[in-house]
Chain A
Amino acid sequence: VYDRGVVRILGIAAIAVVAACGAARPPVGLTVIVDGAGADRARDGVAHRGLDGFVVRAVAPPPIVADPPDPIASILATARAAYQDRGDFAACRAAVDPIDVPSLLAVGKREQAARVLVWRTACAWSGLARADARATAALVGQYGLDLPSDAGAVIPEVEAALLDVIEKAAKIERVPLKVAGNSGGRVVLDGKPTGCTLPCTLDVARGDHVVAIEADGKTPAWRVVRAPAKAAIEIPLARASPAEAGAQWRARIARGLPAIDDTGLELVAHAAGDVRVAYVDADGKRVRGALVVDGAVKARGTRDDGDITGLLGDLTRRGGLVAPTPLVKQPRFWIVLGAGVAAAAAITALVVYEPEIITEVGF
């Protein structure tokens, strides 16, 4: 009986020791995006000091990416020169015909699309491909495009034909077009934001249209669809690349949306390309930040003392990345306990205390 009791006590003690000490967790990666006015120095500080239990990688927020050079403008200049200066309508068509107008509309370049269609119409008309010219001109009306200033440079017959299709387009029968897909996706029709989010039903002119879907964290996608359609149009979206997510985060800020609302944080964390990402805004004495784990915002915090390492500690604790400090290891616990014991002792002493009585006896 004695031996069994000893073994049991030792077993319980061993479990208690293991539970108390815990297996040391190997450090895990944490990407810290430091933004704000004092970001550079703060980033160096974070990288230098690190954070217990983490391999910290301090990075800058996604950069603002400049738009790539646009070849369409030079192609249009080439076509215009061939049309106006040399009367070389074949060269003009060779320049503008390869341009994919729906892809321009998919990214919202409606004016460029209209210019391409105008020159394509003009070059086909003057090249005596009248049927092609009429079909191309019809697209201007079909897509609801405005006539660009280039229309003034083409021959009057072409301009009149373009104005005619625009006028006729207004009379085309309107039909509903149902669009389904990822909830919250924004629908763009013929390069023009519709203001509706998925799922929604559009009121469109009968015929072909370019339907594009945009959503935060997703790669935009588009299709040419014919209205009316028998079923709802669905355009699946793929997860955006980190670069795309960074660009979307910048685009949101440019649109006046907050940088670190939940969507903004999810984008910037995705752009950082890590599972655990902390975003810190070190703008001035007050620092604020948030922690994103697996694409979801887990914690937010603010410190008025400017202590970024402290803020990261707060975030990782609240976000569940590190176990909270046991009560017995918190100085505050011992201070409160000590004060409580002292107060209890003082109260007890006051209650049970009896002063020494000195009695003088005399006559």
Chain B
Amino acid sequence: MRTAIVTAVIVFAGCGEEHRSITLRLGPDDQTISQGFKCLEEVGATALAARGYTATGPNRGDFVANLVVDFIVLDGVPSCRGEEILAWCGDHACEPAIEQVRFCARVELLDMTLDEIINNTRLPEIYADLRDAGPITTDAPDGPVIVRAVATTQSCAQLQAVGGVYPAFDRTALIGCAYSCPLLLDEVDGDVQLSFDAIGICRLPEVEICAGDLNP
């Protein structure tokens, strides 16, 4: 009897928490960055990524941006199609879960060409910078969420919550955005890939919708 009680206590104590780990990918795999980070200005052919790029020499320069990751709370589970997500968030309050500190990491790529971002050649360095910033969260929300990453030239300090509300992203500072399918992070087994629904060339307004909590 005593043995059974001790065993039960040990089992309960040991099973009190189950720890899992999810790796976030900024594209369909760890070698590719999402289309959402390759969008162009509203008009013209300039990539939004150029907003974080500072030329340092002929055809060379430094790229500096901040990547903000949010968990958009859905209050339900829409399908993964872009149109349906937008429709859902048009009818529901899709708002970022308020964390104590919003994940915001500086990405700094020195001595590069702008095409290198487009061509994914500097992706390992981006991931290295992001990993150095620590985990996005140590305890993901329990309910259904969309994981969204926004690249911006705004500072991290500017983007932290004030009075329990995150400030809106500045459209003039936006560089890119991507998001995941609606999911329950506690039930995810493996990586979470971010993507961006766009047929053809994507431009600033679409990025703005993504950064605007997916509410058109």
A-side residues, CB < 8 A to B, are 346, 349-350, 353, 355-363
Contacts and interface: CB of A to CB of B under 8 A. Distances in A.
Q: B-side binding surface: helix, strand, loop or mixed?
A: mixed
Contacts of B135: 360-362
Contacts of B59: none
B80 interface: no
B185 to A, nearest CB: 5
Greatest chain B CB density within 10 A among A359, A360, A362, A363 is at A363
A361 B136 contact: yes
Interface in B17-31: 17-24
B86 to A, nearest CB: 24
A360 B130 contact: no
Interface of B: 8, 11-12, 15-24, 69, 127, 130-131, 134-140, 142, 147, 185-186, 188, 192
Given A350-B11, A360-B138, A361-B137, 9 more contacts: A346-B8, A349-B12, A353-B12, A357-B18, A359-B20, A359-B22, A359-B139, A360-B137, A361-B185
A357 B136 contact: no
24 contacts: A346-B8, A349-B12, A355-B17, A356-B18, A357-B17, A357-B186, A358-B20, A358-B138, A358-B139, A359-B20, A359-B21, A359-B140, A360-B20, A360-B21, A360-B135, A360-B138, A360-B139, A361-B21, A361-B135, A361-B137, A361-B185, A362-B22, A362-B136, A363-B24
A346 B142 CA distance: 26
B82 to A, nearest CB: 22
Contacts of A356: 16-18
A346 B131 CA distance: 43
Contacts of A349: 12
B186 A359 contact: yes
| Top 6 A-B residue pairs of the complex, sorted by shortest distance between their CB atoms | A362-B135, A363-B130, A357-B186, A359-B140, A361-B136, A355-B15
Contacts of B21: 359-362
Contacts of B8: 346, 350
Contacts of A350: 8, 11
Contact of B23 (A346, A353, A355, A363): A363
Contact of B188 (A358, A359, A362, A363): A359
Given A346-B8, A355-B17, A355-B18, A362 B139 contact: no
Contact of A355 (B16, B130, B185): B16
Contacts of A357: 17-20, 142, 186
A353 B11 CA distance: 11
Nearest to B185: A359
A362 B23 contact: yes
Contacts of A358: 17-20, 138-139
Nearest to A342: B5
Contacts of B185: 359, 361
A362 B147 CA distance: 11
A358 B18 CA distance: 6
A60 B47 CA distance: 117
Nearest to A343: B4
A29 to B, nearest CB: 45
A40 B165 CA distance: 92
Nearest to B142: A357
A350 B11 CA distance: 9
A173 to B, nearest CB: 83
B22 A360 contact: yes
Contacts of A359: 19-22, 139-140, 185-186, 188
Given A355-B15, A355-B16, A361 B22 contact: yes
A360 B21 CA distance: 5
Nearest to B139: A358
Contact of B127 (A353, A360, A361, A363): A363
A130 to B, nearest CB: 97
A109 to B, nearest CB: 70
Greatest chain B CB density within 10 A among A346, A359, A361 is at A361
A363 B193 CA distance: 11
A363 B131 contact: yes
Contacts of A355: 15-18
A360 B69 CA distance: 13
A356 B139 CA distance: 11
A60 B120 CA distance: 109
Contacts of B137: 360-361
A331 to B, nearest CB: 17
A349 B12 CA distance: 10
A361 B131 contact: no
Nearest to B19: A358
Contacts of B147: 361
Nearest to B21: A360
B140 A361 contact: yes
Nearest to A353: B15
A360 B138 CA distance: 4
Contacts of B16: 355-356
Contacts of B192: 361
A335 B171 CA distance: 71
A14 B185 CA distance: 61
A320 to B, nearest CB: 36
B123 to A, nearest CB: 11
